[in-house]
Amino acid sequence: MTINITDTLLTGNRANSIVSCHSVSFSNVTIANSQDTGLTLIQSTVMVNNSLSFRNNTGDFGGGLSLSQLSYFMVLPQASFEFVNNSASYKGGGFFCSVSSAHPFVYAELSDLTFAIPLTLWNNTAGKAGADIYGFVLSGFKFYGLFVSFSLINPRVSSSTNAIRISFCDFNDAQGITLSNSVPEQHIFPGQKLKFKVALFGFDGNETTFSLTDGVVDVFIDTIKVFNYSFAEANCSIIEYTPTELIYSRHEVVLSIFLADSLILSLYSVINEIVSHYIIHECPAGFSINSSQGICTCSQSVSRENVTCDIVSLNITHNGLLWIGTYDTSTPFNANATNPNACIINEDCLLYCSPSPVAFMLNDTDTQCVDNRGQRMCGSCRDGYSLLMGSNKCGQCNDDYMMIAWIALFAVMGVLLVVLLIALNLTVSVGTLNGLLFYANIVKLYEPVFSRKGALPVLSQVISWINLDFGFEICFYNGINSYAKQWLQFAFPLY
């Protein structure tokens, strides 16, 4: 007995399913507004005599139509298929086939081989892959020698299948996704992550081109499966893994996709695995291995209260007023390099060091300093900076004419200062002046402590003048350091 459904509109149903049935015939049938896939075929055969239309249906796997293994349509020459405005939250907005090698559309008779079946795919969407079609390609279907061909009403089709190729990839806005069969060898420390950018591909509209899809990648290290990664999007994605085996040697990583369909493996040249390598090194300077955690943490020379070490970023963090670094900061130092013999200084630093929390690497200890200072214990200026007259800050000297202007200004001010002292009868024999000079020297000596942020600039300048110092933050010449600055300050009162 055959079930004939003719001139029928099935609309608003939660789902429509045909299970284990091989005697159903459709003619001029429309399935619309279903909430859980328009039509699901499970081990069934349906004869299509005329038009079969799927409109405005929703589902997870297949919005309009979902086909399981061993399900297919027997198609007559006058048949046509239409998939319009269907949506799937996952795959196959128009229709979904669970097995990539399945051939769900076959001609009913050998005499029908010359007829192309009209197929309309329009405005279908899917959350992950295959907005129109997921699970098979449109060209080259055959079933016991019977070929099916379609006449696409809309030639632009979004189609994909289960992953049959895997590749390393990269992405940028200018070039989009670029592919590669290999990537450089990675070098990591215990606790750092391996990172691989990977893309999966299924067949596009035919058997020679490919489109992005999602899937599951198995990760093997030295032939041992360590975990699997499920792609959240059909895109170039980053797979990250932190090795747990602390063997300081070269290791092999294999990223593989599982192909359950033996027919795909026999018919096509698939690339179902890619290979890379990495080397685990001993912990870098400032870090040591924590055997219980299996990662690099702060070494004994760095470890103290409120100091943390992050092996992922190689950053050392503390709360401020502290200086941590190597003894010889002028020697080029690579924070990535293993150097267990590096001499580490870890001391309180009340002058010139940042009072706020800082994060830095051992090859950039200047981050711990303020006012453009750097070097060991922030005792000098950073490269490219010069010590400013009138303060302990460092700045850049870019104007040679400014130095000439300051010399002319202080030449005049020196004469005026002597005239002022004589007019006010302020000499060392006067007790008031002695006390004033004494306290001015004390305040000047401890100026960085009393006024770290320069909160009293006017008072600072007055005290500097009493001490026969410039009092203004100026760069006298490019490259001046504390030694040269002291000699210039001795020269000022001599004048």
Q: Locate 290 and state its tokens.
A: 């924590």
Between 240 and 471, residue with greater pLDDT: 240
The H or E element that residue 72 is part of is: strand 72-75
Lowest-pLDDT range of 213-227, 284-298, 380-394, 429-443: 429-443
Q: How many CB atoms lie within 10 A of CB 102?
A: 20
Q: 398: alpha, beta or left, given left = phi > 0 and alpha = psi -120 to 50?
A: alpha
Contact (CB, 8 A) for 76 and 114: no
- In angstroms, rounded to a whole number, what is the distance separating the alpha carbons of residues 370 and 452? 10
pLDDT at 349 over 70: yes
Q: Which residues pair with 126 in a beta bridge?
A: 88
pLDDT at 196 over 50: yes
- Amino acid making up residue 473: E
Contact (CB, 8 A) for 124 and 87: yes
Lowest-pLDDT range of 40-49, 175-184, 295-304, 407-416: 407-416
Give the residue-averaged pLDDT of 372-389. Answer: 90
Contacts of 303 (CB under 8 A, 6+ apart): 297, 309
Give the residue-averaged pLDDT of 400-422. Answer: 72
pTM above 0.85, yes or no: no
pLDDT given at position 418: 73
- In angstroms, rounded to a whole number, what is the distance separating the alpha carbons of residues 313 and 290? 17
Lowest-pLDDT range of 65-79, 180-194, 370-384, 476-490: 476-490
Contact (CB, 8 A) for 372 and 395: yes
pLDDT given at position 122: 95
Q: Which segments of 384-427 does DSSP mark as H helices, in order?
A: 400-423
What is the separation of C-alpha 174 from the centre of its chain, rounded to a whole number of angstroms? 17
pLDDT in tens, 362-372: 989 999 999 99
pLDDT given at position 371: 93
pLDDT in tens, 92-117: 999 998 865 567 888 887 776 677 88
Confidence band, pLDDT 50/70/90 cuts, at residue 288: very high
Q: Which segments of 140-288 does DSSP mark as H helices, in order?
A: 262-267
Q: Which residues pair with 120 in a beta bridge?
A: 82
pLDDT given at position 144: 44
pLDDT given at position 143: 42
pLDDT at 58 over 60: yes
pLDDT given at position 343: 84
Give the residue-averaged pLDDT of 120-132. Answer: 93
Contact (CB, 8 A) for 4 and 49: no
pLDDT given at position 328: 73
Contact (CB, 8 A) for 95 and 82: no
- Strand 51-55 relative to strand 373-374, pairing: unpaired
Give the residue-averaged pLDDT of 346-374. Answer: 93
Question: What is the residue-averaged pLDDT of the chain?
Answer: 83
Q: Which segments of 227-355 does DSSP mark as H helices, in order?
A: 262-267
CATH 3.40.50 fits 165-280, yes or no: no
Confidence band, pLDDT 50/70/90 cuts, at residue 141: very low
Give the residue-averaged pLDDT of 63-71. Answer: 89
Long-range CB pairs of 394-401, under 8 A, 24+ apart, other chains included: 395/473, 395/475, 396/475, 397/475, 397/476, 397/477, 397/478, 397/479, 397/480, 400/477
Domain residue extents for the chain: 3-159, 165-280, 295-383, 394-494
Between 14 and 448, residue with greater pLDDT: 14
